[in-house]
Amino acid sequence: MLALRDLQSRFFDSLARQPGAGPASFDPTFIECVESRGPLAASERIDIYAQMYFARLLDVLQGDFSRVAHLLGCDRFHTLAADYLAQHPSTHPSLRHLGQGFPAFLRERADIADLPFLSDLAELEWARLTVFDAPDSVPLRIEHLQSIAPEQWPTLRLQTIPAFHVTRHAWPVHELWQAAEDEAREESAPQPAPTVLRVWREGVSVYHARIDTPELVAFERILAGEPFAVVCAALESVLSAEEAAATIGSLLLRWIEDGILAQLPE
């Protein structure tokens, strides 16, 4: 008779070592511990759990990476998910974290070379999930910004809300993300193009948008905790002084409108 820990380890291995592989992958010693009763043999009973295990986790990955799954098609996504789960069994009580390593896993796969942008797209999908349930916060309002005295601006440290990420990609993933949703759209072969996106949540809705070099430069300084004067100086390193002044004004308005700046500490 197996000790409980050994029994549980062998049961888990039977489910997780080769997800979706069926009874041939079950631990023979574990099969002997299971009763064959009525119309179902022991291995058939274990297989009910094995199928549930893979179906549930596959479903989670398909939901979390729906556009990647769509582009791959059912069979290829199924194969990739099985391999991913065999290498990355869940280590967290919540399924929320299951796909954390999936973008990096895709990056290493040689058998999806025909879709070289897939890992980048997976990174965007994961970033959207991350901001979906990031901590709540109160966004900065325009009235608050207008109440700041001129002499306070140079040392002002703007902060983004917690539900905000900047993601960098080698492909125009925002276009691929949209194309994967719009099946009727005529698709030309995507071309690599360095792309930076901001991903954020406004209320309970998640958005992403491409940002240009000046906006990225400004965000880099804000995310580094630099004061407003440094943000402006950074902009002046990529724009003329006149353009920089106009740009920071319009950026501030856009960020306020999108709700991505956090309320300033009292």
Amino acid at site 171 = W
Sketch the per residue contact string, 170 through 189, with other proteins: x for CB under 8 A, - otherwise: --------------------
Closest to other proteins by CB, 35 vs 143, is 35
- Residues in CB range of 160: below 8 A, 6 or more apart: 200, 219, 222, 223, 260, 261, 262
Which one among 82, 132, 145, 210 touches other proteins, defined by CB under 8 A?
Answer: 132
Q: Where are the alpha helices (DSSP H) in 157-240?
A: 173-181, 213-223, 228-236
CB 200 within 8 Å of CB 207: yes
Give which of 90, 92, 88, 68 is closest to 78, Cα–Cα.
68
Sketch the per residue contact string, 153 through 172, with other proteins: x for CB under 8 A, - otherwise: ---------xx---------
Q: Is 255 exposed, middle or buried (0-12, 13-18, 19+ CB in 10 A)?
A: buried
Sketch the per residue contact string, 68 through 97, with other proteins: x for CB under 8 A, - otherwise: ---------------------xxxxxxxx-
> Is residue 28 part of the contact set for other proteins (CB under 8 A)?
no
Which one among 21, 23, 25, 40 touches other proteins, defined by CB under 8 A?
Answer: 40
List residues binding other proteins (CB under 8 A): 1-5, 7-9, 11-12, 15-16, 32-35, 37-40, 42, 44-46, 48-49, 52-53, 56-57, 89-96, 132-137, 162-163, 201, 204
